[in-house]
Amino acid sequence: MFYTLALTFVPNLGTKRQHDVLKRFGSAQAFFMTAERQRQLIIGTADSLTLAQRRAEKEWALAARNGWHICIISRPGYPPLLGDCPDAPLLLFVRSQQPPAAPDHVFKRPALGVVGTRKASHYGRTQTDRLLSELRHDPICTVSGLALGIDTQAHRSSLQYGLPTVAVVGHGLDQVYPAANESLANDIVAAGGAIVTEMPSGTPIIGGLFPRRNRIIAGLSQAVVVAEASVKGGALITARIAHSYNRCLFAFPGKNDMHFSK
């Protein structure tokens, strides 16, 4: 597990190349232990490996200190539906009361992704709440992105109706963004849900990381519902990714005079 974490800190290795390394060497540990000459063909100098391992040691210690769980792909606890995606992250940092391998962890439930615009209308919020109210007796969980607007409504309504919910974020577990949702994040964990990310601590809030977050929302979900969305918004990015993963995709019928329904 440690070497997989260290692999994610090797410079210039994106998700695809990380998967390629695992296929070529058989494991992250084998990659770190193999002859330097073979590794140089992929990463260059050995210094980058040393730095990656030092960064992993710090992250490992921080996770242990805060009670965060680290899920490794193809290991118990990693969500199998997400693991089947071609660009699945090698690992997830998970903040939850129970370890992800526990039999009643939220990851064991069928998941419904609920996404939409940050500038949600009263109509969008109401319809989101209505949907989750009707699902209150089903053994599912919801997945969203902890953003303002529809995401916040989806998480809050899930908590109100007793549905565990998963918030996927685009930064490390050492912070909550937006800050206004810090208490919501705490409530999600306290109610048996989880905060999930592939990003290590110290990751800055960068807009370009949110599409990566969106693929995890889609990958975790059997189906995705788009409540309201702008043409260039993250919700439609999630919808396109969900479609590419062969997930069921739904949208609320919108009013023809509303911007986020066109």
pLDDT at residue 103 is higher than 60: yes
Tell me, yes or no, whether 73 lies in a domain.
Answer: no
Element (H, E) at 60: helix 47-66
pTM of the model: 0.91
pLDDT digits (tens, 9 = 90+) for 65-86: 999 999 999 899 999 999 999 9
Tell me, yes or no, whether 72 lies in a domain.
Answer: no
Specify the CATH number for the domain of residue 192: 3.40.50.450
CA distance 230 to 226: 11
Q: What pLDDT, on a 0 to 100 scale, did the predictor assign at position 208? A: 80
Across 36-45, 115-124, 156-165, the highest mean pLDDT is recorded for 156-165
Report residue 168 as tokens. Answer: 């996927």
Query: Sorting pLDDT into bands at 50, 70 and 90, what band is 229?
Result: confident
Tell me, yes or no, whether 59 lies in a domain.
Answer: yes
Report residue 239 as tokens. Answer: 């919808």
Rounded to an integer, the average pLDDT of 18-43 is 76
Rounded to an integer, the average pLDDT of 35-39 is 59
Report residue 225 as tokens. Answer: 């519902």
10 Å CB burial of residue 240 (0-12, 13-18, 19+) is middle
* Cβ-contact 151, 116 below 8 angstroms: yes
* Cβ-contact 156, 185 below 8 angstroms: no
Q: What is the DSSP letter of 248?
A: E
- Going by C-alpha positions, the residue among 55, 50, 42 that lies closest to residue 14 is 42
Residues 9 and 111 in one domain: no
Residues 39 and 133 in one domain: no
Residues 107 and 51 in one domain: no
Q: Determine the 3-state secondary structure of 168 from DSSP.
A: strand
Residues 36 and 89 in one domain: no
10 Å CB burial of residue 35 (0-12, 13-18, 19+) is exposed
* Cβ-contact 141, 166 below 8 angstroms: yes
Tell me, yes or no, whether 53 lies in a domain.
Answer: yes
Q: Determine the 3-state secondary structure of 163 from DSSP.
A: coil
Residues 233 and 151 in one domain: yes
Rounded to an integer, the average pLDDT of 124-137 is 96
Residues 162 and 210 in one domain: yes
Cis, bond preceding 204 (omega within 30 deg of 0): no
Q: What pLDDT, on a 0 to 100 scale, did the predictor assign at position 211? A: 85
Task: Please state the domain count of the chain.
Answer: 2
Contacts of 188 (CB under 8 A, 6+ apart): 155, 159, 165, 166, 167, 194, 195
User: What is the domain extent for residue 40?
Assistant: 2-66
CA distance 8 to 58: 13
Residues 112 and 230 in one domain: yes
Report residue 107 as tokens. Answer: 């990851």
- Going by C-alpha positions, the residue among 152, 118, 146 that lies closest to residue 132 is 152
Residues 41 and 88 in one domain: no
